[in-house]
Amino acid sequence: MKKAILITFLITLCNQASFAQNETTVLTIKNNADAPTIDKNIYGHFAEHLGRCIYGGFFVGDTSKIPNTKGVRNDIVAALKDLKIPNLRWPGGCFADTYHWKDGIGPQEQRPTIVNKWWGGVTEDNSFGTHDFLNMCELLGAEPYLSGNVGSGTVQELSDWVQYTNFSGKSPMSDLRKKNGRTEPWKVKFWGIGNEAWGCGGNMTAEYYAGEYRKFATFMSDWENTGGITRIASGSNSADYNWTEVLMKNIPLNMLGGVGVHHYAVIDWGKKGDDRNFTEEGYFKTMQSALKMEELVTKHSAIMDKYDPEKKVAMIVDEWGGWYEVEQGTNPGFLYQQNTMRDAVLAGATLNIFNNHADRVRMANLAQCVNVLQAVILTDKAKMITTPTYSVMKLYSVHQDAKLLPLSFQSPLYTFKGESLPAVSASASKDKNGAVHISLVNVDAKNKNKIEIDVKDLGVKTFTGMIITSAKLQDYNSFDTPNKIVPTVFKGFENKKGKLEITIPPFSVVVLEGK
Residues classed as catalytic: 196, 319
Whether 370 and 76 have beta carbons less than 8 Å apart is answered as yes
Identify the burial level of 60 via C-beta atoms within 10 angstroms of its C-beta, where 0-12 means exposed, 13-18 middle and 19 or more buried: buried
Cα 153 off chain centre by: 27
Report the relative pairing of strands 361-366 and 314-322 from DSSP bridges. parallel
Alpha-carbon gap, residue 349 to 424, rounded angstroms: 9
Query: Residue 244 is inside which H or E element, if any?
Result: helix 241-250
What phi, psi does 313 have (nearest 5°)? -90, 130
Q: Which of 200, 228, 209 is nearest to 96 (CA)?
A: 200
The DSSP annotation for 470-497 comes to -SSTT-B--SSSTTSS--EE---EEEET
Indicate left, alpha or beta for 124 from its phi (over 0: left) and psi (-120 to 50: alpha): beta
Alpha helices in 167-202 (DSSP H): 172-179
Neighbours of 359 (CB within 10 A): 15
What is the largest distance, in Å, between two alpha-carbon atoms of the chain? 96
Long-range contacts of 174-182 (CB under 8 A, 24+ apart): 176/105, 180/105, 180/106, 180/131, 181/131, 182/131
Report the side by side order of strands in the sheet with 407-408. 407-408, 24-29, 449-454, 499-504, 493-496
Please tell me whether residue 282 adopts helix, strand or coil conformation. helix
471-493 burial: b if 16+ Cβ within 10 Å, else e? eebbbbbeeeeeeebebeebebb
CA distances 431 to 360, 436, 459, 504, 513, Å, are 19, 7, 12, 24, 11
* Nearest residue to 42 via CA among 508, 398, 434: 398
Residues 141 and 215: their CA atoms lie apart, in Å, by 32
